[in-house]
Amino acid sequence: MVLNLLWMFLKFLPIITTAVQGLRNLTFPNNFKFGVATSAYQIEGAWNEDGKGQSIWDHYLHKYPYLVKDKSNGDIACDSYHKYKEDVKLLKDLGVDFYRFSIAWTRIIPMGYKDSGVSLEGIEYYNNLIDELLASDIEPYVTIFHWDTPKTLEENGGWLNNSIVDHYVSYARILFELYGDRVKHWLTFNEFSQFCEEGYSRAEKAPFKSLQGIGGYQCTHNALIAHSRTYKMYVEEFKISQKGFLGLSVDTAWAEPKTDSILDKLAAEEEMLFSYFYYLHPLIFGDYPTLLKMKISLKSSVQGFRTSRLPKFNESEIELLRGSFDFIGLNHYTTALCSWSNQKFPVPSELDDCGVKQSQNTTWKISAAPWLAEVPWGLRKLLVWIKEKLNNPPLLITENGWATTDSNLDDNDRMNYHTKYLSEVLKAIHDDDCNVIGYTAWTLMDNFEWMSGYGEKFGLVQVDLTSTNRTRTPKDSFFLYQKIIRNRKLIE
């Protein structure tokens, strides 16, 4: 036993030595919670078992496998549908306070439409998962929608058709009725920019639509209305009896001016306006930011559109939106340097509407995901910006992580990344009075990373994809995170 402890100490010593440089011995608040996150399509597998319907990811990746870098899909993934007990055992060993996972819409309602019938097997799977978590003293944090729109609804326009709002609210009500007695934290949506802008404008993610400058705005508009209606429904029908909390997750990089010039500072503010403020301003103040509305309206007019390409909320929608959250989820990974762009973006497009060029500093460490550079100070700047712009809402960091190409157990870069970013969270809490209530590492285990397939690894746990058993093995970062959670600080 002593030799094992000595070996672990010597193994971690170089990492600890590197990580603690510049760190302060600050402690996480008593009510601060630690967790890890996953999503259904990325880990569950069992894509057509027990009556599950097809999502747009099932459909498009079967039909066009070449869209994914390694031509893979989530048919089996980590096989968590069959191995959820093993996953919960890992979570218990890790010591997390909560586990953020998503529910697959088509596993509950195979046809997607409200009143079209439910799958008892799908309902039972999530019942079992939730009960297993609670038996291990782990809180379930449930994401209602993590990009996997039912194929049947997509055939009717998906998030471009406002009829999807009724179907979504009906789906959410079923989840509250089924699981709300045990689930106390809900997230309505994960990352509007990914499934809306990249899904309906740039054809970079399912459903691979290319409606530049129109599709992303319409999708986001309908999703925000769906969120606000779901929040109202939860407050009126469930909150008093279930005593839960409802929010949503929005992703953004920190926009840093490329230089100290006034122009670059304005460019950085513009990027934050389009990449983050756009999505959350309606939840705080009831409508899109005035400057964003004016700019898109003006550009639309010049481009020959009779009305603005950005849809308008009516008065009742504005009232529904204002204050429609209990907490905000933040997915953050990196920072971008911003300046005004001289290049030609597609016209119309959200890129052209914004007009900002993003770049990276050549000294930054770049992960296996080329967009993801290690810039920990950017997280603190972002947290302070959110505090000042959005009235310091309760903020849960719902994703933060590092990508590698390999799945080695000695993942030093990931250990350093999480340590440095958590250090910035501590500074934001103690020095800046930011209302950060928790931190979620992405992700529990190596999984299907969308268009990169299985070529990018974010997991704290290695998954052997060549094994029919999908063998799980904790990495060094797993044990480091375990230690941070146990000690509630970065330095012993």
**DSSP H or E stretch at residue 173:** helix 164-179
Alpha helix (H) ranges present in 341-471?
350-354, 376-389, 412-430
Catalytic residue among 139, 154, 191, 374: 191
Looking only at the bridges linking them, the beta strands covering 472-474 and 185-190 are unpaired
What torsion, rounded to 10 degrees, do the Cα atoms 337, 341, 343, 348 define? 110
Residue 245 β-bridge partners: 185
Q: Please check whether residue 440 is in contact with residue 100, taking contact to mean a CB–CB distance below 8 angstroms.
A: yes
Q: Is the backbone peptide bond immediately before 311 cis, with ω within 30 degrees of 0?
A: no
Q: Please check whether residue 207 is in contact with residue 60, taking contact to mean a CB–CB distance below 8 angstroms.
A: yes
SS3 445: strand
SS3 254: strand
Q: Please check whether residue 379 is in contact with residue 368, taking contact to mean a CB–CB distance below 8 angstroms.
A: no
Q: How far apart are CA 159 and CA 207, in angstroms?
A: 10
- A 10 A CB-CB count for 250 gives 23
Q: Please check whether residue 215 is in contact with residue 158, taking contact to mean a CB–CB distance below 8 angstroms.
A: no
Token readout for 209 is 């639509």
What torsion, rounded to 10 degrees, do the Cα atoms 69, 336, 272, 392 define? 100
The CA angle 262-264-268, to the nearest 5 degrees, is 115
Taking the alpha carbons of 205, 404, 386, 325 in that order, is the dihedral positive or negative? Answer: positive
Token readout for 285 is 């103040």
Catalytic residue among 154, 198, 374, 399: 399
Whether residue 44 lies in the annotated active site:
no
Residue 260 makes CB contacts below 8 A (sequence gap 6+) with none
Q: How far apart are CA 275 and CA 336, in angstroms?
A: 12
Residue 50 makes CB contacts below 8 A (sequence gap 6+) with 107, 119, 121, 122, 125
The CA angle 130-132-138, to the nearest 5 degrees, is 75
Whether residue 399 lies in the annotated active site:
yes
What end-to-end distance do the CA atoms of the chain give, in Å?
21
User: Catalytic positions, please?
Assistant: 191, 399
